[in-house]
Structure 1
Amino acid sequence: MTKVRVLLAEDHQLVRAGIHALLDKMGGVLVVAEVSDGQAAVKAVEVQQPDLVLMDIAMPGLNGLEAASRITKSWPKVKVVILSMHANEEYLRQALKAGVTGYLLKGADIQELELAIRTVSRGEQYLTPSVARYALEAYQHDGAYPVNPLDRLSPRQREILQLIAEGHSTKEIAFRLSLSTKTVETHRSQLMERLDIHDVAGLVRFAIQFGLVHPSS
């Protein structure tokens, strides 16, 4: 029997080890790699070509939603299941826009985790019941989700916004992204203009409000 090849992306080592152990006990599932941030997840997908990525949302540098968007665009056959602590409409909207095929809460039991993996592996979508109603309600009302201010930003601008909100300096961001400091400053000016926010504190509040980072980051 061909096994489902899974890449696990989760920034907390103990949580990652626990999920890995659960996956190892599932018949027909093979963990091919595990990573701790979104950038590493994208690189690992390129190398490992897994069938499925089990992805945390809150990860440093490049969060799970941004990483998922890059993965689904570059490797359409790779399925992404988001692991989230948040059962709310906004996170689901962002996840579906990123092209994920599964959304699972971290409080789910082992049986639901296995069900999500099996369902997505068959080419079907799996949304945990507590958030599935949001998708149904949105399309019943007007066929789409309301516009998110993050949609005004390019993927690179969202990435830089996250790094700014995490406290990285312009030089640090430039080094991490292999950009010049001038390019980073240009992106920062553009995203401030698009969001009509003109100080770093305001950018941090915005990033927290819309889920790019969390207050503890």
Structure 2
Amino acid sequence: MRVLVVDDHPLYRDGLVTAIAAMPEVDVVGDAADGLAAVRAAAELAPDVVVMDLHMPVLNGIEATRRIVSERPETAVLVLTMLDGDDSVFAAMRAGARGYLLKGADREEIRRSLQAVANGEVVFSSGIASRVLAFFAAGSPAAVAPFPELTEREREILDLVARGLTNAEIAQRLVLSSKTVRNHVSNVFTKLQVAGRAEAVAQARDAGLGAP
């Protein structure tokens, strides 16, 4: 099994690489410190599994997962993160991740999870699994919102940006000042780690926002 390890903390990443490389029949083919580097490495190294952190610079793990799965559907993404909120879990699964573990997972749990996602199965840390089952038992999977790092207002404004509205038009529609809208748009760009409006619109539409 070929594995790519992605995490922005050097000490943790190095330790994870060492631990995974010691597992039988596993070859760590590379590592990356940010989401964009992960997308490039996945394209170049063709791993079977990418172990992905979520909170990273340049490109967050959710968007990196979305791009990797889109470009290489045969590659499985196993999230390994400190973020345990429902928004993060469901955003990762919507992006195409096949597993979600918390960083408290021990070596054996990581080994089993790597094998499972490589075989096409879906895995969760035990505490998360019970919440996922409860969520779907409630019959509301459509309620999961993309971009969990955004506030509700920021997500609303991103949706309007993706519909093609200018800042002035958004301000008029939401009865906000132009300055407030500019601040929200700037915060959205920062959180999504995009360079400008066009890139934000592309990400938003990929996630289902901006529909008429």
Partner of 1:200: 183
99, 103, 112: which is aligned to 1:102?
99
Question: Would the alpha carbon gap of residues 57 and 188 (structure 1) be closer, same or farther in structure 2, given more than 3 Å must change?
Answer: farther
Whether the 8 Å CA contact 1:93–1:145 is kept in 2: the answer is no
Question: Would the alpha carbon gap of residues 123 and 59 (structure 1) be closer, same or farther in structure 2, given more than 3 Å must change?
Answer: same
Unpaired stretches in structure 1, ≥5 consecutive residues: 162-185
What secondary structure sits across from 1:34 in the alignment? strand
Whether the 8 Å CA contact 1:87–1:130 is kept in 2: the answer is no
What secondary structure sits across from 2:143 in the alignment? coil
Partner of 1:86: 83
Deviation at 1:205, TM superposition (A): 8.6
Partner of 2:141: 144
Aligned residues: 175
Whether the 8 Å CA contact 1:51–1:79 is kept in 2: the answer is yes
68, 72, 76: which is aligned to 1:75?
72
What secondary structure sits across from 2:101 in the alignment? strand
Deviation at 1:32, TM superposition (A): 0.4
35, 40, 43: which is aligned to 1:38?
35
Deviation at 1:24, TM superposition (A): 1.4
Partner of 1:167: none
Q: Deviations over 1:9-64 (max 9, x none)?
A: 11111111000010111001111011101001111111111100001101101000
| Separation of aligned partners in 2, 1:188 and 1:71 | 31
What secondary structure sits across from 1:198 in the alignment? helix
Amino acid paired to 1:115 = R
- Aligned-residue identity in percent: 35
Partner of 2:200: none
TM-score by length of 2: 0.72
Provide the aligned C-alpha RMSD in A. Answer: 3.2
Question: Would the alpha carbon gap of residues 56 and 135 (structure 1) be closer, same or farther in structure 2, given more than 3 Å must change?
Answer: same
Runs of 4+ in 1 over 3 A off after TM superposition: 186-190, 192-197, 201-208
What secondary structure sits across from 1:40 in the alignment? helix
Question: Would the alpha carbon gap of residues 54 and 150 (structure 1) be closer, same or farther in structure 2, given more than 3 Å must change?
Answer: closer
| Separation of aligned partners in 2, 1:134 and 1:112 | 19
Whether the 8 Å CA contact 1:139–1:145 is kept in 2: the answer is no
